[in-house]
Structure 1
Amino acid sequence: MTAPIETTGSAAEAKPEAVLAGAKLSQIDGRSLGRIAWNRFKRDKVAMAGGIVVILLVLLAVLAKPIESIFGLDPNAFNQELINPELLAPKGALGGISWDHPLGVEPQTGRDILARIIEGSWVSLLVAAGSTLLSVVIGVIMGVVAGFYGGWVDAGISRLMDTFLAFPLLLFAISISASLQNGAFGLSGLPLRIGVLVFVIGFFSWPYIGRIVRAQTLSLREREFVEAARSLGARGPFILFRELLPNLMAPILVYSTLLIPTNILFEASLSFLGVGISPPQSSWGGMLTTAVDLYQVDPMFMIIPGMAIFITVLAFNLLGDGLRDALDPRSK
């Protein structure tokens, strides 16, 4: 009877030459957190589509004036020859759509709708971006300070947040905008309107992001890297700006992308009520105000600015949802 052949672990091991050859064939590359988040984001096709639409909208808003000059678009030009004098409606079918006016013209006035949509894009995005930046700056500072120091500082800032959240923001914005129509702070006209909207929307919206940042700071201040910084003698400002704030960038970025569409809707609501951007400056909310009286004459005049607001808000929301999933370390 033959004895069983014993195999040792060394015999089953690969030779060093084979190991080195395999290591040369496939190198293991380290990936940063940003690259990991980008790979996750690319897999979300819906978020990618939203991001592409947002980029196109931003380019449209930034290049609005050059586009109008290149193609000869005038948002305030009255084309009365394109209006039926008896019906006060655009001549032809589908609201006067033609090669010269791809989206048609306004009833009664004959102003080009495409030119007014392009003109209104930079107004809406400027107000939304400015108010979002203001609210993010105030909210982040207040939230980080309240969450890190705690105690009476946290209690005072939290009660201040509750006070701001109790304000009837829409009524307050209407009253301020209506009272500053003639001029204030050395400004008048469109700059004053934009400045008032940015201040009102941004200054009274910071508690929303402030609460989120405060909650994240309360969690992060107990982490090991904060304790290690304290043990090395780091003081409060250093820990706030060098340790906590970089770890808060992901939720701040995500909430900012979700706050912009909210501010776009708020600006459109104020313009719709007549206390936002005033004529003759074009705005999407102002176009909807005019369309209310002319809906029976030309329904497309209401649908087009409404779709512009809908697409913009939807694109920012999809982008924000995708960024939230991509920057979440627990997602797969």
Structure 2
Amino acid sequence: MTAPIETTGSAATAQPEAVLEGAGSKQIEGRSLGRIAWTRFKRDKVAMAGGVVVVLLILVAALSKPIQAVFGLDPNAFNQDLVDPTLLAPKGSFGGMSWDHPLGVEPQTGRDILARIIEGSWVSLVVAAGSTLLSVVIGVIMGVVAGFYGGWVDSAISRMMDTFLAFPLLLFAISISASLQGNAFGLEGLPLRIAVLIFVIGFFNWPYMGRIVRAQTMSLREREFVEAARSLGARGPFILFRELLPNLIAPILVYSTLLIPTNILFEASLSFLGVGIAPPQASWGGMLSTAVDLYQVDPMFMIIPGMAIFVTVLAFNLLGDGLRDALDPRGK
């Protein structure tokens, strides 16, 4: 039965029952915080572009070996026939670019630059991801404990953070990487180099994550849901892992995304200085180091690995900025 309609003059006003009956024809669906954040993120076209580039870079790095096998690319194959023996420069224009070598070849050696860029991508991302994961794990644990318990625990961890932040990290990384040659800890060669870089970059960068998590924890520990958990008899570990950590996922995710490009630059810097990834293994920083003496012969040899680092760092930064705005719009 249809609800009655009151008519006053020429205007008709529906009763509340009629309004509710009409609204019932379309189901009202609530949205989770994740869906709301995803909707905000999709509106940011620049962040979406950065995310697409990041996904493509990860796919290229993960599938670098199959890609090289399918297209017949060998990052360490010498092609002396593509190099002018007099000038020691690639034959042709733009660094010897051709259908077989889309990004050209290296001066003197004739190695394919595209193959070495693809090979170096997985090295940079593995080191950056591993060191970021190590920093996040240590920083989150230390930051949550310091922010939640306070007192002498907070003072001790905060002074530890200050000590690590005062460390001359670049010099320390150079000395450790240079001293650990040959084999150590049951590793040798490339695995040893990667493990050392992950440890040095990750272990000494955790205070940056720790400070952010500590500040967020100090703010959250005074919130009503923490007091409610305490009133129900919950102890510290339960509150830390079941109440606080889920509310820290957003800042941890955002800062992790912004920490990865910093670690990529750090790895490239160490490889550029000759204490990171050792030749003949391809790395973007190592390619730039070699190009310093050869850029006058072939400028493209310096431009291409430099652009690879620039695009990767820019994409991660744009993705991190977009995630920050989507997860915390008030922080804009």
Aligned-residue offset at 1:26:
3.3
Pairing 1:198–2:198 present? yes
Aligned residue in 2 for 1:291: 291
List aligned pairs for 1:220-239, cutoff 5 A. Answer: 220-239=220-239
Cα distance in 2 for partners of 1:236, 1:320 equals 31
Aligned-residue offset at 1:14:
1.7
Aligned AA for 2:40? R
Cα distance in 1 for partners of 2:282, 2:100 equals 19
Aligned AA for 2:182? N
List aligned pairs for 1:33-48, cutoff 5 A. Answer: 33-48=33-48
Aligned-residue offset at 1:28:
2.0
List aligned pairs for 1:1-332, cutoff 5 A. Answer: 14-15=14-15, 18-328=18-328, 330=330
Aligned AA for 2:32? S
C-alpha RMSD over aligned residues? 1.5
Cα distance in 2 for partners of 1:38, 1:331 equals 17
Cα distance in 2 for partners of 1:295, 1:145 equals 51
Cα distance in 2 for partners of 1:323, 1:329 equals 10
Q: Deviations over 1:124-182 (max 9, x none)?
A: 00000000000000000000000000000000000000000000000000000000012
Aligned-residue offset at 1:331:
6.5
Aligned AA for 1:33? L
Give 3-state SS (helix, strand or coil) of 1:248's partner: helix
Aligned AA for 2:161? M
Aligned AA for 2:206? W
* TM-score after normalising by structure 1: 0.95
Aligned residue in 2 for 1:4: none
Cα distance in 2 for partners of 1:209, 1:50 equals 23
Aligned-residue offset at 1:330:
2.7
* TM-score after normalising by structure 2: 0.95
Structure 2: state its 5+ residue gaps.
1-6
Aligned-residue offset at 1:13:
5.0
Cα distance in 1 for partners of 2:98, 2:137 equals 46
Aligned-residue offset at 1:186:
1.1
Structure 1: state its 5+ residue gaps.
1-6
Cα distance in 2 for partners of 1:13, 1:293 equals 84
Give 3-state SS (helix, strand or coil) of 2:313's partner: helix
> How many percent identity over aligned positions?
87
Aligned AA for 1:114? L
Aligned-residue offset at 1:200:
0.1
Aligned AA for 1:301? F
Aligned-residue offset at 1:22:
1.7
Aligned-residue offset at 1:29:
1.2
Give 3-state SS (helix, strand or coil) of 2:107's partner: coil
- The ranges of structure 1 where at least 4 consecutive aligned residues each deviate by more than 4 angstroms after the TM superposition are none
Aligned-residue offset at 1:183:
1.6
Aligned AA for 1:226? V
